[in-house]
A and B are shown apart, each in its own frame.
Chain A
Amino acid sequence: MGIPSKDRIRAKLKAGNTLVRILLAHPMHTGRAENESGELIPAEFIQDIRCWRNDREVLTIKCGTATARNPYFSFQLVGGQQGDTIMIRWVDNLGAKGSVETTVK
């Protein structure tokens, strides 16, 4: 993979509600696939994603192995205004963590 991937988040107002789109950079190995030399790739997948709006937790997403590689999520939050902060934190099954935040445009 040529381009180093990283977590992305976009939030914008749409008809009075906040539209949030998240793209996380994660291989999401299921633990059942094999690599070129036929060895099993150990499971590595995001388990828990949490979303905050202005320090208030609004959404929890729990994932199994069947969430696609580089997980994408899109949802709306009721109301909101420009300048709200939207923050995402995730944890995978090996304990790796990530967080990303943005302000509503």
Chain B
Amino acid sequence: MIDKLNEQRRVLIKGAISASTLALVATSGLLLPQQLLAHWPTDAFSAEAVEDALLALLGQADIADNTIIQFKVGAPPSYAINGASVPIEIQSDLENIEQLLVLVEKNPFPLVMSLELTPEVKLPFKSMIKIAEDSQVIAVIRAEGKLYKTTRFVEVDIGGCA
């Protein structure tokens, strides 16, 4: 009789332990799909100032302007009729570029895109972005640990509702 009781006690303890571990795992968020999905830097993309976005992504917001990046926004340059799709083109002779960022200062969330490049990728990089209103557009390149920045002012006729 006592043996049987003991056995039941064992089962109960075991059950309790596994239940509590499961609960722990569930609450820790390990099973949430968002966490599995994203190495997507949410805090950088939801930052509302250029400095915050740069800090979140590069750990540094203070970058000197540099002419080593050739950067075109809009067609014709520095002007866009429709802010919903503004062509950009980034060209540079820098080697071993590790990261490339595009930011629009006056957008609700300035960070537009962040590229991680391997040495196999070669510029120019072209894309289309949304620009909410007349604004500075900033390109940042990290190459061999150094940061370079170029800024262009763009006039927009119709805001891109970014």
Contacts and interface: CB of A to CB of B under 8 A. Distances in A.
Interface of A: 17, 30, 32-33, 47-48, 53, 56-69, 71-79, 91, 95
A86 B128 CA distance: 21
Nearest to B89: A74
A34 B84 CA distance: 15
Interface of A is mostly: strand
A80 to B, nearest CB: 9
A17 to B, nearest CB: 6
A73 B125 contact: yes
B118 A58 contact: yes
B127 A66 contact: no
Given A30-B162, A57-B118, A59-B118, A75 B125 contact: yes
A57 B41 CA distance: 20
B121 A48 contact: no
Given A30-B162, A75-B126, A62 B114 contact: yes
B151 interface: no
Contact of A68 (B86, B109, B114, B117): B86
A71 B109 CA distance: 18
Most buried by B among A33, A62, A65, A69: A62
Nearest to B84: A68
